[in-house]
Chains A and B, each alone.
Chain A
Amino acid sequence: MTVPAIQTSRLTKDYGLGRGLFDLDLEIPQQQVFGFLGPNGAGKTTSIRCVMGMIRPTSGSAHVFGLDCLRDSVAVKRKVGYLPGDVPQFGGMRGNEVVAYFGGMRGGADPHRVRELAERFDLDLGRRFREYSSGNKQKLGILLAFMHSPPLLILDEPTGGLDPLNQQEFYRLVREVRDAGATVFLSSHILSEVEHVCDRVGIVRGGRLVRVAELDDLHRIRVHRVELEFADGAVIPERAIREADGVQDFVVDGRIVTCTVHGSFEPLMAALRGVPVTNLVSHEPSLEEFFLEYYREGDELAVRP
């Protein structure tokens, strides 16, 4: 049995006042693209920094390919390509000097791989870092993470600043390295990004992992907004609809009923059995809307797995 690429056990980083990361249990098998979703301040970057050994957890542990992230941090980082949330400043250094500097720390970088990545992202390594646009800085960060073909990539919001074409190129690159055997752990608050590349998704909120799902599961737990128009004279089965499993936000306006349906439509359909419905409109929210719904401040989780 192969060891997981990343495994955390009750990983906690408590900053006080309810901030931080709490009891993160995560297991990411090898050769998988795992998306770590959450709004700003949810604990995504804290989780990543714990795994990278940048910050010491208050309790719990994190392992990469079976290696302890703190005790074996140097060995761990040999296996990891890392893109931080903010690409650091390199001032007047040229792009190719930055690459050589960090390549040198790994005993040298593969020049063919560097050239290939620079060409794919149309990145001019002859320019000074200070002259780069934010998108080019991000491309350089991606190049630094991928250039040594690591078995694990940990990428903190990797597409920030990239234009759509380069985003697509990035998604292709992620799929390629996954197909070549690498594991990718990327954090994001962009659901379309997850749809594009991830095999599995973890959703984090308020420092706690609230759900891990296959991408298909994510689709299944989506919320639908439904508008029903009943025929003239039809008796609206208000009670049956209201009590149907998964139905919420029930509103009656004349012959029109609106509600939201969580999960399967079956309970709603059962409630409507025998009642003439002249029109039914189901609006499937985008992943973004779903995400907002999921994380609505102060609410209990809108979606129950």
Chain B
Amino acid sequence: MSWLYALRQGRWGIAGFSALAFVITLLNTIGFYRIAGNTPTERAAFARSITVLAGQFTVLLAPPFRADTVGGYVQFRVYGALAILVAVWAVAAAAGTRGDEERGLLEAVLATGVSRADAIASRFLAFAMGGVVVAAAAALGFVLGVDRTQDAIDAFSVLGASVLVAGIALACYSLALLVTQLVSARFAAAGAGIVLLALFLTNSLSRTIDALLTWRVLSPFYYYDRSQPLSPGGNFDVRATEVLFAIAVVGAVAATLAFAFRDLGSPIARLPVRAHPPVRDISHVPFWRAPIVRGLYDRRFGLVVWMAGFAALAALFVVLTKQIVQPLLAIAALRPYIDSVIKGDIYPSFLGILWFAFGQLLIAGYAITQVGRWSAEDGDGRLELVLSQPVSRRAVVLERALVLGLGALAIAAAGAVGVALEARSQAIVLDTGRLATASMLLVPFAGFFAAIGSLLAARVPRATVGVLGGFAFVTYFIDQLAPVFKWPAWVEDLSPFHLYGRPLTSGVDGTGLAIMVAVVLVGFVASALLLERRDVGA
């Protein structure tokens, strides 16, 4: 397999993530001049407010350094998020390699005489080139966005930031590639995602949980955060960057070895299959027979994992809220800024932003995985077989919507239970009704993405996941950037992240809820109509 072929396989990922990196960097760089002010005093005040803001996002982003400068602000606001962005891309790309294996593509490639090491090396090289392109796109966004009448661009700083982005992308990819060799293809994406999420949280939570300080050295994100090259006076930790690339190389070598030792189509270690007499009977589990229930039962393992993970993370975020808010309250100088940023009770406010902002991303991820499954069913012929049964296409869309809604409801309910139980043990007083409302609002929020995804799956099933993922990022940044650029309200209303509102502190935003419900209804009805008219299996 040549690296050019591997590059071709990943071209849409490279193009999409490069475009995202460019747009995000450009908009945030331009946005800095809109919101930071022009005088040193204004910028110092801006930096202090950013410090308070950073406290709410400490689980996602490293603390800012010199946020009064465009470099410091973009380093914090964009390059912190870029690490997450490229990690998501790395997981998708590594899982895609196992997907090629499932489809028999890799078998065909190996049959041509390409060695397994070459196959992995080609993928690695292609992803490395993609990483360079994404890093360059981000750098270009920054360079184009900087107002040169106010700030000079230090080429070495930009280069350093780009090297770091390429490094974290490669490190994440090689680790994801390694994990995908160890597990079955079915769990490749989930396994790689869980491992990278665990490594990410190990580093980010170590900012507030001391017990994790010794473990964070295992995380590539730790080495990424060690440098802040865009911030004036910020350092570029050469040693940490070397470790980042060393992780990439070691991970790739380990992945190659694992690939060499495992059977094609199998994980490196398999549980022995117990001998059993042949089964000739239909499954007696009654859940398979009932519409909707069969969909939930089919997804039962994934759903249980989502519920358990969501509840555990919810509880963890309650603990984090406590640990973040207490030190902030102890800094008297920050109090005026906290009061100006936070309205109402401080703990629910922080929890509302910390947990429910993260929970929105997670539940959006859940919706996207379900939509991904719908488009996969279209591609692998399962939809064709379903439609050969006496069910209408409308019924298929309706059943999908209800299965997703009930799944999201179960996950949101698990999260609410996690928050409620941990809040009680942390002595944080929460309005139970608002907690329930905030959690239940995650259902139409998930439905918003699912409806858009259903529409895409009905029209362009092969591009659905990529487009929907891009849509999620764009709408997330609409919510983030609309206040900065003072975009009109209707633009903000395009983002479900904005429509969700702040239900834990402010109650339900009726308009936002109405728009979300309308999008859900219109999206699913329109997708049913589109599916009616579309060829399946052609």
Q: Which residues of A contact B (CB under 8 A)?
A: 46, 49, 52-56, 73-75, 77-78, 80, 82, 84, 86-97, 99-106, 108-109, 111, 114-115, 118-119, 122-127, 130-131, 144
Task: Say yes or no: A82-B388 contact (C-beta < 8 A), given A55-B536, A88-B380.
Answer: yes
Q: Which of A56, A101, A105 contacts B390 (CB under 8 A)?
A: A105
Residues of A within 8 A of B284 (CB): 100
Bound-complex Cα distance A74 to B388 (A): 9
Number of A-B contacts (CB under 8 A): 126
A90 to chain B, nearest CB (A): 7
B40 contacts the other chain (CB 8 A): no
Residues of A within 8 A of B281 (CB): 96, 111, 114-115, 118, 125
Q: Is the CB of B282 within 8 A of A100?
A: yes
Q: Mark B281-308, 1 if CB is under 8 A from A, else 0.
A: 1111100111100100010000000000
Q: Is the CB of A89 within 8 A of B388?
A: no
A94, closest chain B residue (CB): B283
Task: Say yes or no: A103-B282 contact (C-beta < 8 A), given A54-B535, A84-B384.
Answer: yes
- Would you give 30 A-B contacts (Cβ < 8 Å), ordered by A? A54-B384, A54-B536, A55-B538, A56-B533, A82-B388, A84-B384, A84-B388, A84-B537, A86-B381, A89-B102, A90-B382, A94-B279, A96-B283, A97-B285, A97-B288, A99-B283, A102-B389, A103-B282, A103-B289, A104-B289, A104-B291, A105-B391, A106-B390, A108-B289, A109-B282, A114-B280, A118-B279, A123-B280, A126-B276, A127-B279
Bound-complex Cα distance A99 to B389 (A): 12
Residues of A within 8 A of B290 (CB): 104
Bound-complex Cα distance A46 to B538 (A): 8
Residues of B within 8 A of A127 (CB): 279
Bound-complex Cα distance A96 to B186 (A): 19
Residues of B within 8 A of A126 (CB): 276, 278-279
A59 to chain B, nearest CB (A): 15
B211 contacts the other chain (CB 8 A): no
Total B residues in contact with A, Cβ cutoff 8 Å = 36
Residues of A within 8 A of B390 (CB): 74-75, 77-78, 105-106
Q: Is the CB of A100 within 8 A of B288?
A: yes
Q: Is the CB of B294 within 8 A of A101?
A: yes
Bound-complex Cα distance A231 to B284 (A): 78
B405 to chain A, nearest CB (A): 20
Task: Say yes or no: A91-B186 contact (C-beta < 8 A), given A77-B390, A106-B389, A115-B280.
Answer: yes
Residues of A within 8 A of B369 (CB): none
B187, closest chain A residue (CB): A92
Q: Is the CB of A88 within 8 A of B278?
A: no
B229 to chain A, nearest CB (A): 45
Residues of A within 8 A of B285 (CB): 97, 100
Q: Is the CB of A93 within 8 A of B298?
A: yes
Bound-complex Cα distance A46 to B280 (A): 34
Bound-complex Cα distance A104 to B273 (A): 28
Q: Is the CB of A82 within 8 A of B279?
A: no
Q: Which of B278, B382, B385, B537 contacts A49 (CB under 8 A)?
A: B537
Residues of B within 8 A of A54 (CB): 384, 387-388, 535-538
Residues of B within 8 A of A109 (CB): 282
Q: Mark B503-532, 1 if CB is under 8 A from A, else 0.
A: 000000000000000000000000000000
Q: Is the CB of A125 within 8 A of B294?
A: no
